[in-house]
Chains A and B, each alone.
Chain A
Amino acid sequence: MKKTLFDKVWDAHVIDSIQDGPQVLYIDKHLIHEVTSPQAFNELADRNIPVFRPNQIVATADHNTPTLDQHLPVRDELSRKQLAQLSENCKKNNITLYELGHKYNGIVHVMAPELGITQPGMTMVCGDSHTSTHGAFGTIAFGIGTSQVAQVFASQCLLLTKPKSLRVTVNGTLKNGVLPKDVILYIISKLGTNSGTGYFCEYAGDVFENMSMEGRMTVCNMSIEMGARGGMIAPDTTTFDYVKDREFAPKGDEFDAKVAYWKTLPTDQGAVFDKEYYFDAEDIEPMVTYGTNPGMGIKISETIPVDNDPSFKKSLDYMNFEAGKSLIDTPINFVFIGSCTNSRIEDFRVAAEYVKGKRKADNVTAWLVPGSKQVESQIIKEGLKDIFNAAGFELRQPGCSACLAMNDDKIPQNEYCVSTSNRNFEGRQGPGSRTILASPLVAAATAIEGKIIDITKQLN
């Protein structure tokens, strides 16, 4: 029988099946962070169950960490306690932790790939819905709730019903200035926020084949925004080259043996998917969102659609936008380049290339938050920090930051923020804040102009 990439990885990890029920799936790597793990550790302690495979767990502090003065004690008492709890839990259970200040500290979905923890053919979970990011390597990676975090602690397994399969194929050549973020925002705008629910998605076609690993991570990251538990891209030479020589990647003969196995993983010709969608690369343009879910996106040159649905109207009211209007020239006071979607070195290179020799508009606060300490060092090493400083942008320290505003990085009430993050939900970036999702290029251009511009005019 012809198998998909997803089938091959899934089937290789099934230990047992309950009749008319879920399967027992083995988990290779478990990533944890401070927000969704404490209650799981408590659960195990209360029931006197030991952590089964501590060496398959890696922890980082990211959601709740400050992005300024990381060498000082965390000011917010609750955040400080939560971070201390993570350190204590990891120490007690012999779990590797990259805490604040560690050279490998960073957003969980930036840290694991750059260290070679993420590898093709694995099953990976984390108590965070953007775990789908790791699917870029041909990995089954998905977000789980805290009860499931406890299950993996206890048994290195989960009880799951195999999801259905979905494939999104994009062929052709992307236009100048169209970034991976635009590709995924375009797909979600066409398919909607629940089209992928119950499915695992594979992205195929030459657009993804020609994309860098970092671009593929951006795409897979947002799979959850169309409801899919995860997204995957077939591993290829780009993947193997990226993984090779990274800190925790297999080395020498072991690496070669892995590559031989990884090469067997791509979907068989003729394998059948439960659902398929096709798009042309030439139809995609730089995107922006206008509403309060990531499916509410338009090409930057388009106008907001007209829809009489009450939830749609509620969403536009919240954003203070009008149906039928364009977003071009909307004044913007806040720009955020960061989050597990777009905080890797390529994202900062794109932004730096655009802002080089320019100066941000006076009304704009522009925050740049690298995804990890390693990305931060690379920004400095490549001289990008100087470019950003000269342009008036503020380079902060790594973390999830204003993507979800659990720390002090909040967008004020009623303010718009053009953000490279993944969610434009009401209040996501701070109570009353209004998020417009976009690529790092659109975000950088917005910071320079102090308003949304039609970037396509500059590019063509």
Chain B
Amino acid sequence: MEKFTTHTTQAVPLNIANIDTDQIIPARFLKATDKKGFGDNVFRDWRFDKSGNLNTEFTLNNPIYSGSILIAGDNFGCGSSREHAAWALVGYGFKVIVSSFFADIFKGNALNNGLLPVQVSESFLSALFAAIEADANTLFEVNLETQTISIKGTDLKESFEIDPYKKTCMINGYDDIDYLLSKKELIEAFELQKID
């Protein structure tokens, strides 16, 4: 997993609530047996119209927006547990997703793939959308060490929560398998005395 410390870029706004993982990556693209290529189909049915033509109204196709931060509406990533959603967002080039609320499984999947979910207050989320609307080139800084997100050129800043263990993993590029394997003796001892 890639290490994450500080990230400063423009952001892409996607002001829709309850974006489910079927929208992020539709089921018909889940047939691959590796993690590659999902980025090509991220938000497939929103990026392309029903005849397969580019939907120029969709935010990802709007040339004024760029950057590797996606700012999305409330309850991002609900629905299916498919980790392919995280692979698709990472594959497309996103490193940070900002929302006022994340679904559980998506959040875990994102963290396991070096994609940082940043949960902010509803008012700060509105401020982020407003900043992009005023100037699509606005830069945003996400600092994992200090757990803050700020709008560059302003004094608007908010801190965000992250599990300290997960933070260590993100900063150092560790994953849970290494940790769990180090507990093998405890696991085997537990199996011997387990009730069920």
**Minimum CB–CB distance for A420 against chain B, Å:** 17
For chain B residues 6-58, which have a beta carbon within 8 Å of chain A?
15-18, 20, 22-23, 26-28, 30-35, 45, 50
| B184 / chain A contacts, CB cutoff of 8 Å | 155
Is B163 within 8 A of A161, CB to CB?
A: yes
* A117, CB-defined interface residue at 8 Å: no
Given A16-B183, A154-B177, A197 contacting B104 (CB threshold 8 A): yes
Is B105 within 8 A of A24, CB to CB?
A: no
Is B22 within 8 A of A21, CB to CB?
A: no
Is A82 within 8 A of B50, CB to CB?
A: no
Is B164 within 8 A of A197, CB to CB?
A: no
Q: At the interface with chain A, which of B61-69, B74-82, B130-138, B145-153?
A: B74-82
**Minimum CB–CB distance for A198 against chain B, Å:** 6
| B102 / chain A contacts, CB cutoff of 8 Å | 197
Across the interface, name the chain A residue whose C-beta is closest to B36: A39
Interface residue total, chain A, C-beta cutoff 8 A: 74
> For B16, B26, B195, which residue has the most chain A Cβ atoms within 10 angstroms?
B26
Q: Which of A129, A159, A314, A423 contacts B180 (CB 8 A)?
A: A159
| B127 / chain A contacts, CB cutoff of 8 Å | none
**Minimum CB–CB distance for B177 against chain A, Å:** 5
Interface residue total, chain B, C-beta cutoff 8 A: 57
| B109 / chain A contacts, CB cutoff of 8 Å | 145-147
| A135 / chain B contacts, CB cutoff of 8 Å | none
* B59, CB-defined interface residue at 8 Å: no
Is B16 within 8 A of A311, CB to CB?
A: yes
| A309 / chain B contacts, CB cutoff of 8 Å | 17
| B84 / chain A contacts, CB cutoff of 8 Å | 146
| B31 / chain A contacts, CB cutoff of 8 Å | 35, 64, 76, 78-79, 81-82, 406
* B83, CB-defined interface residue at 8 Å: yes
A326 to B12, CA, bound (A): 37
| A404 / chain B contacts, CB cutoff of 8 Å | 22, 27, 80
A164 to B116, CA, bound (A): 23
* A303, CB-defined interface residue at 8 Å: no
Is A26 within 8 A of B190, CB to CB?
A: yes
- Residues 306-318 of chain A, each 1 if its beta carbon lies under 8 Å from chain B, else 0: 0001110010000
A148 to B108, CA, bound (A): 9
Is B73 within 8 A of A155, CB to CB?
A: no
Is A432 within 8 A of B22, CB to CB?
A: no
* B171, CB-defined interface residue at 8 Å: no
| B45 / chain A contacts, CB cutoff of 8 Å | 426-427, 431-432
Across the interface, name the chain B residue whose C-beta is closest to A152: B180
Given A12-B195, A148-B108, A426-B22, A155 contacting B187 (CB threshold 8 A): yes
| A16 / chain B contacts, CB cutoff of 8 Å | 183, 186
Is B34 within 8 A of A129, CB to CB?
A: no
Is A143 within 8 A of B176, CB to CB?
A: no
**Interface of chain A, helix or strand or loop or mixed?**
loop
| B139 / chain A contacts, CB cutoff of 8 Å | none
* A361, CB-defined interface residue at 8 Å: no
Is B177 within 8 A of A150, CB to CB?
A: yes
A119 to B196, CA, bound (A): 10
Is B33 within 8 A of A425, CB to CB?
A: no
A79 to B32, CA, bound (A): 9
Is A145 within 8 A of B81, CB to CB?
A: yes
| A314 / chain B contacts, CB cutoff of 8 Å | 16
Across the interface, name the chain B residue whose C-beta is closest to A77: B31
**Minimum CB–CB distance for B106 against chain A, Å:** 8
* A133, CB-defined interface residue at 8 Å: no
* A15, CB-defined interface residue at 8 Å: yes
- Residues 108-139 of chain A, each 1 if its beta carbon lies under 8 Å from chain B, else 0: 00000000000101100001110000000000
**Minimum CB–CB distance for A403 against chain B, Å:** 9
* A18, CB-defined interface residue at 8 Å: yes
Q: Which of A21, A63, A81, A122 contacts B33 (CB 8 A)?
A: A81
* B60, CB-defined interface residue at 8 Å: no
Is A121 within 8 A of B30, CB to CB?
A: no
| B23 / chain A contacts, CB cutoff of 8 Å | 425-427
Is A229 within 8 A of B105, CB to CB?
A: yes
| B20 / chain A contacts, CB cutoff of 8 Å | 293, 423, 425
**Minimum CB–CB distance for B71 against chain A, Å:** 15
A310 to B73, CA, bound (A): 11
Across the interface, name the chain B residue whose C-beta is closest to A142: B105
**Minimum CB–CB distance for B110 against chain A, Å:** 9
**Minimum CB–CB distance for B17 against chain A, Å:** 4
For chain B residues 93-145, which have a beta carbon within 8 Å of chain A?
101-105, 108-109, 112-113
A47 to B181, CA, bound (A): 12
Q: What 6 A-B pairs are tightest by C-beta distance, nearest first?
A: A21-B165, A147-B112, A38-B33, A145-B109, A78-B31, A145-B83
Q: List 26 A-B contacts (CB under 8 A).
A: A20-B164, A21-B163, A24-B186, A26-B187, A28-B196, A49-B181, A64-B31, A79-B31, A82-B32, A128-B81, A144-B105, A147-B83, A147-B176, A148-B108, A154-B180, A159-B176, A194-B18, A194-B78, A197-B103, A224-B79, A227-B104, A406-B30, A425-B79, A427-B26, A428-B27, A432-B50
Residue positions of B touching A, CB distance < 8 A: 15-18, 20, 22-23, 26-28, 30-35, 45, 50, 73-75, 78-84, 86, 101-105, 108-109, 112-113, 163-166, 175-177, 179-181, 183-184, 186-187, 190-191, 194-196
Residue positions of A touching B, CB distance < 8 A: 12-13, 15-16, 18, 20-22, 24, 26, 28, 35-36, 38-39, 42-43, 47, 49, 63-64, 76, 78-79, 81-82, 85, 119, 121-122, 127-129, 143-148, 150-151, 154-159, 161, 163, 193-194, 197-198, 224, 227, 229, 258, 261, 293, 309-311, 314, 404-406, 413, 423, 425-428, 431-432
